[in-house]
Structure 1
Amino acid sequence: MLTNLSIRNFAIVSHVEIDWHHGMTTITGETGAGKSIAIDALGLCLGERATTSVVRPGTDKAELIASFDVSGNKKAKQWLTEQELNDENDCIIRRLINSEGRSKAYINGTPVPLAQLKMLGQLLINIHGQHDHQLLLKTTEQRQLLDDYAQHHGLLDDIKFFQKQWRTKNNELNSLLESQQQRQAQQQLLQYQVKELDEFSLQQGEFSQLEADFKRHANAQQLLVISGQCLNQLSDENEYSVSAQLQKIADDVQQLAALDKGAESIANMLVDASIQIQEASRDLNYYQQSIDLDPEAFNLIEERYSTAITLARKHQVNPEDLFDYHQKLQAQLSQLSGDEERHQHLHDELDTIKEQYHQIAEKLRVSREKSAKKLAKLITESMRELSMPDARFNVQIDHQVNEQLSSHGYDDIEFLVSMNPGQPMEALHKVASGGELSRISLAIQVILAEKVITPTLIFDEVDVGISGPTAAKVGQKLQQLGSNTQVICVTHLPQVASKGQQQLFVAKLTDGKHTQTSVTPLAQDAREREIARLLAGDEITDNAIANAKELLAS
């Protein structure tokens, strides 16, 4: 519950600090005094966006601090713990707004974004504004009210989960369908290209080998001539050959080494060189013998080499990259074939998701119909208690299975009402007047508040358009609600104001230069005079005082 609200430099408030009690608190004051100032400040504490106009003129920033006791609020405590913002049983929200419109927010001293304030605020306070009853005319709001009453949060979460899955899969399927013609053309081209390259079947690294073999066969005659000349120059059968000359030099240096050990290393190197020349000559001989002058083999190599170059040119790649390009085309063709398989698989997935969605939607429909009867009965009873003796209320559910899955199931919900005997049930917006609509809205809010427990409920002039005996019954309804939860009600009706365990009076003070708002808890005598003022106006009579005492006593 809300325990304290501190407001500094906010609108026309210089500084106000309010302690809040259990039960029902009413807020009254003269027109234009700013009775809703505390509600507006709480709204900002709970994440509403701020503007520069909220900062009191002549000051640089507004400060709003709301303190809550969350000892009995399991959801709020759990959320605070999960966000690592827990401070045992206390929750303090602080909002600073500077004159340029920028703001900072804190929960238990930790800076937080506005989104977190909003999430926490939903667990702490439920604010009903004076124009909320207009929302009641929207069928989407009517469906939400029924689902809140029936506590369908789990079923709706499941519905939204499957609807999101269905939307994702359906978008993917539509994308596949939209590109199907283009994909088929691309697939035909790839099939032709891959078939052509499959038939050629170039292996990894083969082109480099083909290129080397082609050069070797194309130059075989020249290779034979050059290698023969080299062998003749190296051969030790020729006394003028490199081998013979080197051997002679090696023998001479060995003689030097026999006379002078300083020449030994040179002799050894020459011996090694002589051996290497002999080995080179032998290897060159083997090489010459391996040179192939087979024209048929050369023709096969030349043909494959030329085909590889032609295919590479055709596909606009380098010949040495032709193998990798072939693999790439195969992968693309496999992916397109996989898209066709994915197309069928998506159909199967969508059918499964729709079946799961339908099962949840059917559970939701059954629960809605059951809850609708209970809610209609409760609202009818409450309307009659609020001076609509012949009223009848009904919740119409139109169940239509559609191909398109929505985030709320297959049901369209509409509130129907009949205000007079013999009058047929019609849509709420066609029948109810402004005052009747306000009372119906209040009846629903009271019923939902008892069903969906929120620690603090705020009613900001929801009794607009209500007077006389009806006002007394509205006050009783709110007082009844205050026995289970904290209720804060801004009102102009004495019948409502008198039902609070605590009453706050809002006044606007001015010295001609500056204006500010004050909020004062009223003691019994002051309360009697304020209720009398609401009854009689500015001229408070003894009868008005007596009537005020009677209202407070009741």
Structure 2
Amino acid sequence: MLCHLHISNFAIVRALEIDWADGMSTITGETGAGKSIAIDALSLCLGERTDATVVRPGADKADIVATFDVSNLVSAQKWLTEQDLAMANECIVRRVINSEGRSRGYINGVQVPAQQLKVLGQHLLSIHGQHAHQQLMKGDYQRQLIDSFAGHQAAINNTKAAWKQWQQLQHEYTELEQSKQQRDAQRQLLEYQVAELDAFAPNADEYCSLEAEHNLLSHGQTLLSESQQVVQMLYDDEQQNIYQALSAAHAQLEQLSTLDPALTSISQMLNDALVQTEEASRELRRYSDKMELDPERLDYVDQRLSQWLNLARKHHTSNEELANLHQQLSSQLAELTCNDARLASLADEIEQAKQHYAEQATRLSQQRKIAAEQLSKKITASMHELSMSNANFHIALIEQSLEQASINGIDAVEFQVSTNPGQPLQAMQKVASGGELSRISLAIQVILADKVTTPTLIFDEVDVGISGPVAAGVGKLLRQLGDKTQIICVTHLPQVASQGHQQLFVEKYTDGVDTETRMFALNDEQRISEIARLLAGENISASALANARELLCAPAV
């Protein structure tokens, strides 16, 4: 519940501290005094849009702080814990708006976006304004009211999930069907391309291997003849070869090293060269012996390389990427084939999803019918209490075809009213006057608020346009609700104001230079005077005071 509200430099409020009690609190005051100022500030504190005009002229910022007791609010505690914002059993919400219109929001001292303030606010209170009945004429809002009263969220979720699955499958089918002609043309091209590449069968590393082999085969004769020439030069030429020359040089230097040991290392170098020359000659001879010229293999490799180059150029890819392209095109063709198979199977899946949605929506519709009957009786009874004794209220559920269905089910909802005996039920907006709509709206709000046990309910002049016995009935309804939950009601009616467990008064004060709004709790005597003022105006008579005491059930003085 709301425990405390601090307001500073908001509109014409300089500073305001309000302690709120449980039960029903009524707020009254003179016309133009700003009776709704606290409600407006609270709305901004809980995330409503704002601008610089809310800041009191001359001030640099407006500051609003609301303190709530959340010890019994399971949903609020759960949300705060999930957001890592929990703080024992108390929740402090703050909104600061500077003179340039920028704002900052805080929950338990942690800065948060305005959207989080708004989400938290849904767990803390509900504000009903004087124009709430305008929403009442909209079919979607009427359906939401039934669902709120019924509390069948699981059935709603199941219907929505079934609808989404059905629509998703239909969307998939439509896309595949619309692209079928394009896929057919693409598949024909891919089938030709893949068949051509399948026949060629390029392997991932084959191109580099082919290039290397082609280079070797095309130079085979040169490699063979010249390697044999080198063997002749190194070792095999009987007249003159490198090995013989090195051998003679080594022998001569070896003799000289006996005269000068410094030549020993050089002699060793020549000896090593002899060994290397002999080994090189042996390896070259072995290489030449193995070398075989293969014109047929060269022709095959040459042809395959030519095909490779032609296909790469034809498919606009590099030689090295041709094998990868083959795999990609094969995958694309397989995917197109799968899409066609998917299209063939979707029809059955769509029909199954449609039937599943129909089952869930029908189950939801049946639950709505039960709730609609119960809610109709409750609203009719409340209308009788609000001086509409001959009225009859009925919620009509019109079952639609699956072609007209939506994510919310198969029901079209219409609130119907008969206000006089003998009159048939008709759509509420056609036969109910503005005052009657306000009473019906209030009755529904009270009934639903009781059903969903909202922690704090705020009614901002919802009693506009009513008086007399009707006002008394409204007051009793709100008082009844205030026995179960916290009610804050801004009103101009003495019959409503007197029903509050406590009453606050709003006044506008000016010293000729500045103007500000003040709000304070009334004691018993002040409350009698205020109720008398609401009854008789500024000239309060003894009769008005007596009537006020009677309304308040207060003893005479």
What is the TM-score with the length of structure 2 in the denominator?
A: 0.94
Query: Partner letter of residue 439 of structure 1?
Result: R
Partner of 2:217: 217
CA gap of 1:229–1:88, structure 2 versus 1, over 3 A, is same
Indicate how the Cα distance of structure 1 residues 214 and 114 shifts in structure 2: closer, same or farther if over 3 A, else same.
same
1:123 paired with 2:123, answer yes
1:238 is paired with a residue whose SS is coil
SS at match of 1:127: strand
Matched-pair contact (CA < 8 Å) for 1:45–1:94: yes
Q: Structure 2 vs 1, CA of residues 475 and 305 (structure 1 numbering), >3 Å: closer, same or farther?
A: same
Displacement of 1:408: 1.3
Which segment drifts farther, 348-357 or 248-257?
348-357
Letter in 2 for 1:130: Q
Moved more, 373-382 or 534-543: 534-543
1:10-409 alignment runs, 5 A limit? 10-257=10-257, 260-344=260-344, 350-351=350-351, 353-403=353-403, 406-409=406-409
Partner SS, residue 333 of structure 2: helix
SS of 1:504's partner is strand
More deviation, 407-416/234-243: 234-243
Alpha-carbon distance, 1:73 to partner: 1.5
Mapped contact 1:236–1:244 kept (Cα < 8 A): no
Aligned to 2:5: 5
Counterpart-to-counterpart distance in 2, 1:280 and 1:69: 98
- Cα distance, 1:541–1:499 mapped onto 2, change above 3 Å: same
CA distance in structure 2 between the aligned counterparts of 1:341 and 1:154, rounded to whole angstroms: 35
Q: Please tell me the residue identity of whatever aligns with 1:131.
A: H
Change (3 A) 1:269 1:348: farther
Q: Which amino acid aligns with 2:424?
A: P
Q: CA deviation at 1:353?
A: 4.4
- Aligned counterparts, 1:445-464, within 5 A: 445-464=445-464
Report the residue type matching 1:76 in the other structure: A
Deviation at 1:10, TM superposition (A): 0.5
2:509 maps to amino acid? L
Between the aligned partners of 2:488 and 2:436, the Cα distance in structure 1 is: 22
CA contact (8 A) 2:235 2:242 kept: yes
- Cα shift at 1:347: 5.2
| SS of residue in 1 equivalent to 2:236 | coil
> Retained in 1: the 8 A contact 2:358–2:402?
no
How many Å apart are 1:284 and its aligned residue? 2.3
For residues 403 and 276 of structure 1, the distance between their equivalents in structure 2, rounded to whole angstroms, comes to 93
2:408 pairs with 1:426: no
Query: What residue in structure 1 maps to residue 549 of structure 2?
Result: 549
Q: 2:143 is matched by which residue type in structure 1?
A: R
Q: What stretches of structure 1 of length at least 5 have no aligned partner?
A: none
* SS at structure 2 position matched to 1:284: helix
Describe the superposition over 1:107-161 as per-residue Cα deviations: whole angstroms up to 9, x where unpaired: 1112111122111111111110000011000011100000000012232233334
Equivalent pair of 1:377/1:393 in contact (CA under 8 Å): yes
Cα distance between partner residues in 2 of 1:483 and 1:492:
21
Q: Report if the CA contact (8 A) 2:65-2:94 is conserved.
A: yes
Q: Distance in 1 between matches of 2:260 and 2:169?
A: 94
Contact 1:454–1:485 (Cα < 8 Å) also in 2: yes
1:300-350 Cα deviation digits (max 9, x unpaired): 222222222222222222323322222232233233333334445655655
C-alpha separation between the residues in 2 aligned to 1:447 and 1:300? 91
Whole-Å separation in 2 of the counterparts to 1:294 and 1:470:
113
Q: Which moved further from structure 2: 81-90 or 424-433?
A: 81-90
Residues 206, 79 of structure 1: CA spacing in aligned structure 2 closer, same or farther, 3 A cutoff? closer
Aligned to 1:490: 490
The residue identity in structure 2 corresponding to 1:303 is Q
Q: Which amino acid aligns with 1:516?
A: E
Is contact 2:405–2:411 with CA below 8 Å preserved after alignment? no
Residue segments in structure 2 that go unaligned for 5+ positions in a row: none
Identity rate of aligned residues, in percent?
Answer: 53
Note the C-alpha offset of 1:259. 5.0
Q: Per-residue displacement from partner, 1:365-393 (whole Å, max 9, x unpaired)?
A: 11101111111111111111111111111
